[in-house]
Chain A
Amino acid sequence: MFWQQVFNGLSAGGIYALIAVGFSLIYSIMRYINLAHGSLIMIGAYIGYAVVTATNFPLIPALLAAAAGTAIVSVIVERLAFRPIRVRGVSTLYILVSSMVVSILLQNLVMVIFGPSFRTLPQLVSDVPVVTHPINIARLDFYMMIVVVLSLVSLNFVLYRTKAGRAMRAVSFNPKAAALMGVNTDRVVSLAFALAGALAGIAGIFLGIKYSVYPQLGELILKGFVASVFGGLGSVAGAVVGGLALGVIEVFLIAYGSSSFSPVMIYALLVLILLLRPRGILGRIVEDKV
């Protein structure tokens, strides 16, 4: 029973990690909070839904379509709603407001196109568990974990083994100096948004399969916020740790406590972390130099 709960927690936490990593990636490079990230998750779920109902694609092509589609939407959002504010060099507060507006806009756009009702994706993954002993591993959870691990490993490869990743890290430390090294910062920002969008798309389609697809699905971003604060805002590794930890804690609270009490505990824990260790588990203290 105990290990079963751990597995369930990690499985849910993997999705939180994808959400938190994308969110943290943008924060660490841009130093602003993208409130539209939740809507990107929702968009991913709807792209997955539309693709699967229209073409009967199996899981993997549907995942790729959701990831690619959401990445494109993410890049467009940055171009239209954030970049014009950023290049003017005004307070990032305007970007925060802009991202909130984009979030509401996307939600309403989807509401207009698909209607407000809950939709379910056709069954993409069989119900037969991978194993039943010693713990029950549902096929969907199993695939989900593989995809989460693959996504995070690929992201890590891009960030730490390629010039694009190095450029992203350089921009996160000092955009001006990075530009001076011949790095096209606008392109780096687009790439970061594409990556964050792709991760959101993957998270979205899995959430859509597990639960259902509805315009307010993006509200799950709150879990992503909590996970990235747990792990340390702006730390990509921290976001992974925070996401997994959140998933496990949540499952245990539900299994051994009560499901209605679990959110209360989660947010109480969040407040506690903010009070005792505001930089989270792995966060770095960000010092600004004039």
Chain B
Amino acid sequence: MSQATGARFEFHNLTKVFGGLVAVNDVTVEAVAGGITGIIGSNGAGKSTVFNLISGFYKPDAGQVLLEGQDLTGRQPHEIAAAGVGRTFQNIRLFQGMSVLDNVRTALHRSLDYNVFHALLRLPKIRSEEKRAEEAALEALELVGMLEAKELTGSSLPYGLQRRLEIARALAMKPKILLLDEPAAGLNPGEVADLVNLIRSINAKLGLTILVIEHHMDLVASLCQKVFAMNFGQVIAGGTLAEVQNDPAVLEAYLGKGASHA
């Protein structure tokens, strides 16, 4: 399951305008291949919009999204997912009424080699493919330590486990990169610590390139090798967390003008 080196992922000059509002303005980010890259910024800075542009829910007005040099710009969400972009959402989007196992199995949709005509005519093929899906799904659940919860319904899980399930679901697609949209949102400190360990172990085991949006500075500090700060739709600084935190533009954005001279 592990990859030798993490995938190269970058986007250049991404721009998105809603009406008169420039939500994302000329944003360029190069993720650390095989590492964890953070995007920080206050609410409304355009971070989630960036993820929505990457995963195809919005079409960028300008710019380019490149995965291993392959241009993904402007494709449909399911095509972008198939190309190797996995993601989780800030507000968890599980298939609430489905079992944990079925939630993860849905992620294997693309990799199952049968179609509706097989479904009508070749039952053994379905059985073997579904068996394979189940094994792959169990593998993903094991990775996040949720094997024993496989029969439970998505909506019955505590919040921390729902988040884990979302990650398992994304991993089951065997993505080349993983986008985590505020994974610590709504979690208690204990759950955040578990989450940090989980993300780190996934990154180490799979060598997966991970891009994470987060408010939670502890999480960013303990995970991210490189950080980009956004404000009003623009990247205002990039580098290590220490560099970014001491960047005059960042200080000004967070603390107001004059703070950098203090």
Contacts and interface: CB of A to CB of B under 8 A. Distances in A.
Contacts of B262: none
Interface in B81-131: 81-82, 86-87, 89, 91, 93-98, 102, 105-110, 112, 114-116, 119, 126, 129-130
Nearest to B96: A173
B106 A185 contact: no
B145 interface: no
A104 to B, nearest CB: 32
Given A162-B126, A178-B95, A167 B106 contact: yes
A180 B178 CA distance: 12
Contact of B105 (A164, A166, A284): A166
Interface of A is mostly: helix
Interface of B: 55-57, 76-78, 81-82, 86-87, 89, 91, 93-98, 102, 105-110, 112, 114-116, 119, 126, 129-130, 133, 169-170, 173
B77 A180 contact: yes
A164 B94 CA distance: 18
Contact of B109 (A157, A158, A183, A290): A183
Interface centre among A164, A166, A181, A185 (most CB of B within 10 A): A181
Interface in A244-290: 284, 289-290
Contacts, number: 90
Nearest to B166: A177
A173 B95 contact: yes
Interface of A: 157-158, 161-164, 166-167, 169-170, 173-174, 176-185, 191, 284, 289-290
Contact of A182 (B81, B97, B98): B81
Contacts of B77: 176, 179-180
Given A163-B133, A164-B119, A166-B109, A185 B98 contact: no
Which are the 8 A-B pairs with shortest beta-carbon distances? A182-B110, A179-B77, A177-B93, A173-B95, A182-B81, A181-B107, A170-B106, A163-B112
A256 B15 CA distance: 71
A167 B109 contact: yes
Contacts of A174: 93-96
B155 to A, nearest CB: 9
B91 A179 contact: no
13 contacts: A157-B119, A158-B119, A162-B130, A166-B106, A167-B106, A170-B95, A170-B106, A173-B94, A176-B89, A180-B87, A182-B78, A182-B82, A191-B116
A179 B97 contact: no
A181 B98 CA distance: 15
Nearest to B107: A181
A182 B107 contact: yes
